[in-house]
Chain A
Amino acid sequence: MVALARKTLIYEWRRFLPAILAVGFAGLLQLLQAALVLGIFGSASVYITGSSADLWAGYPGTQSVNLGRSIDSGVEMRLRMDPAVTAVEPFHWVDADWRGPNDTGGVSVFVSGINARPDGMMFAHALSPALRARLNEPDAVIVDRADLDSLGVGVGDSAVINGHRVRVVGVSNGLRALGGVNVVASLATASELDTDPTNANRMTYFVAKLRDPADADEIAARLRGNRAFGNYDVWTAESFARRSQLYWMFDTGAGAGVLFLAGIVFLVGAVITSQTLVAAVIGSVREYATLNALGVGVGALRKVVMEQAFWVGALGLLGSTVLGALALVLARSRNVPVALGPWTTLACLALCMGLAIVSGLAAMRSLRRADPATLLR
């Protein structure tokens, strides 16, 4: 079988280049957009994903982890009473005002009061044991490397949070916050920074580790809704993280923006690709008509066009994968929050292959002009 589609693609590559570039850039845009959105909004749940806890207990109806209200300390007992729970620790969230040594004005910060012991669950994935140990010094805090400039401090500098003097003892990586700056402190330091008198004897969250994390859904269900310890609810880490991300994505309108932009990228890509493929079909329409005169069916000719569309899509996606990988490496090295899972990558690539196929279907229509009777004059 003569590989007409592939040979034409190679020989007349200049003709097909715009379509390959259109698919490639559409793919690149979709990938980077998804990576950025997931990276930025993934930081909304960094408290959860950066920790090793399986369950989170907090105020009922909490839509995002940064919006927690305090719950009764007795909830800790309720969690510990369950035989499936192996460890429980508090997480103290304080919205605070930062004044640095340099002239940075007021900066709104989120203080995370965590258990600083080496076996602590909070930020177990985000902070090394050595770094956590430094939090045990009085008034010690850790800030993220990406926030050093906006806070106007370096390691060893002092600053003031809610009127209380603190000292920066280290920097973390990957603890950027949305809508503010993360500051990590020990539980003791955090409670000194919390100026709200109603929070006495209360805690924002309790996190728990389970003997078997696979049972998390079931255990969360049996732990929630016990009124004896006041108002509280229990979620699995996974569902709470997803809820926090979705809250940011849709509450800020970014989610709708992303979907809208994805639609535009698809449309523009499809218009360019289909026009290029149509031009390629029309450029060879007399040859196609000759084949049809010789008895090669229209179905077989359509297959040639679709095969060209497929190869255009495949080459474009190859380009967008390579460029996308380079862009992600660059972004990571510059502390730009990007995150891309295999399923999201596949979805983006599938969308762009869909774009190529839709364009091929559109181009197939112009095969109608390949009427052999028009070759006679």
Chain B
Amino acid sequence: MSSISLQARNVTKSFTSGPIHNTVLHNLTLDMHAGELTLISGPSGCGKSTLLAILSGLQRPDAGQVFALGQDLGELNSHALERFRLQHTGFVFQGFNLFPALNALEQVELPLSYLGLAPGEARRRAMASLEEVGLGPRMGLRPSELSGGEKQRVAIARALAKEPGLLFADEPTSALDAANGQIIIDILHRIARTHGTTVLCVSHDPRLVGHADRVLAMEDGRILSDRVPSPTSTPTSGLEEPSA
């Protein structure tokens, strides 16, 4: 088993909206491993997106600690946290969130230029990343000229080009049809395998279960089950093995 790259220790989070106090995460402890695609599934409102936000450093827990790549995120101020995200984390969201004015290559290059890479190096990485998600021939096109699946692949390439140690995906397939959803989850899985990236995917899409190395079922802010899906439960995938 590969090393632990992402840890949550007794994480608690609650929201107050007017007089209503709502605890979203109850004292949650969790380890995740590099090179694995971990899927957190559960009904909407179960706290899975909040867990992703806290594990990725977008939100801070009320109590508990998060260690990402050995770094205690609670020790970082907001500027340092931004810096940490810039260097180590990639994100893929349900909406593709691509700038309408930029072509696929520029979308991927944009965050790289803030990493301080030389323009030539940024371009090379962006092209390699688009090739990896199968969009090499379409890298000159703008979002309006791409299909939904292709847009999500651009978003993945944008996250991947930074060569992050951690990749977070929030409902990456829920806006896509079955075939495109299949392609996306395969790409995420391949990234975990080939780059040794810790991929954390949050989804209520049951089709993804068979593609994950590990599935955490969440409900009401608690983890109900933690299992490795059996290969036979995989509905359609054929190419890769579900667990290492």
**Is the CB–CB distance between B106 and A296 below 8 Å?**
no
Question: Which residues 66-115 in B have Cβ within 8 Å of A in the complex?
Answer: 79, 82-87, 89-91, 93-95, 97-102, 106, 109-111, 113-114
**Is the CB–CB distance between A294 and B102 below 8 Å?**
no
**Is the CB–CB distance between A295 and B94 below 8 Å?**
no
B93 CB contacts on chain A under 8 angstroms:
290, 293, 375-376
B162 CB contacts on chain A under 8 angstroms:
294-295
Assign chain A's interface to a size class: 20 to 34
Determine how close the nearest CB of chain B comes to the CB of A241; give it in whole angstroms.
53
B109 CB contacts on chain A under 8 angstroms:
2
Residue A377 CB within 8 A of the other chain: yes
Residue B178 CB within 8 A of the other chain: no
Identify the stretch in A154-162, A281-289, A338-346 within 8 Å (CB) of chain B at 4 or more residues: A281-289
**Is the CB–CB distance between A2 and B110 below 8 Å?**
yes
Central interface residue in B49, B114, B142, by most chain A CB within 10 Å: B114
Residue A254 CB within 8 A of the other chain: no
Determine how close the nearest CB of chain B comes to the CB of A285; give it in whole angstroms.
10
In angstroms, Cα B56 to Cα A373, docked, is: 10
**Is the CB–CB distance between A4 and B89 below 8 Å?**
no
Of the candidates A8, A294, A376, which one forms a contact with B101 in the assembled complex, judged by CB atoms under 8 Å apart?
A8
Of the candidates B58, B79, B110, which one forms a contact with A291 in the assembled complex, judged by CB atoms under 8 Å apart?
B110
Determine how close the nearest CB of chain B comes to the CB of A289; give it in whole angstroms.
7
Residue B33 CB within 8 A of the other chain: no
Residue A297 CB within 8 A of the other chain: yes
Central interface residue in B95, B101, B155, by most chain A CB within 10 Å: B101
Q: Provide the main secondary structure of the chain A interface.
A: helix
Determine how close the nearest CB of chain B comes to the CB of A135; give it in whole angstroms.
68
A290 CB contacts on chain B under 8 angstroms:
91, 93, 97, 155
Determine how close the nearest CB of chain B comes to the CB of A277; give it in whole angstroms.
16
B90 CB contacts on chain A under 8 angstroms:
294
Determine how close the nearest CB of chain A comes to the CB of B10; give it in whole angstroms.
21
Question: Which residues 29-55 in A have Cβ within 8 Å of B in the complex?
Answer: none
Residue A300 CB within 8 A of the other chain: yes
Contact A295-B84, Cβ < 8 Å, known A1-B113, A372-B91:
yes
A284 CB contacts on chain B under 8 angstroms:
99
**Is the CB–CB distance between B113 and A294 below 8 Å?**
no
**Is the CB–CB distance between B111 and A294 below 8 Å?**
yes
A137 CB contacts on chain B under 8 angstroms:
none
Contact A8-B95, Cβ < 8 Å, known A293-B85, A295-B82:
no
In angstroms, Cα B91 to Cα A16, docked, is: 29
Residue A82 CB within 8 A of the other chain: no
Taking A284-B99, A377-B49 as given, write out 5 further A-B residue pairs in contact, using a Cβ cutoff of 8 Å, ordered by the A residue number: A4-B99, A8-B101, A290-B91, A373-B53, A373-B59
Could you give 23 example pairs across A and B, Cβ below 8 Å? A1-B113, A2-B109, A8-B100, A12-B101, A284-B99, A286-B97, A287-B97, A290-B91, A290-B155, A294-B85, A294-B162, A295-B111, A295-B114, A295-B162, A296-B86, A296-B110, A297-B114, A373-B53, A373-B58, A376-B50, A376-B170, A376-B202, A377-B44
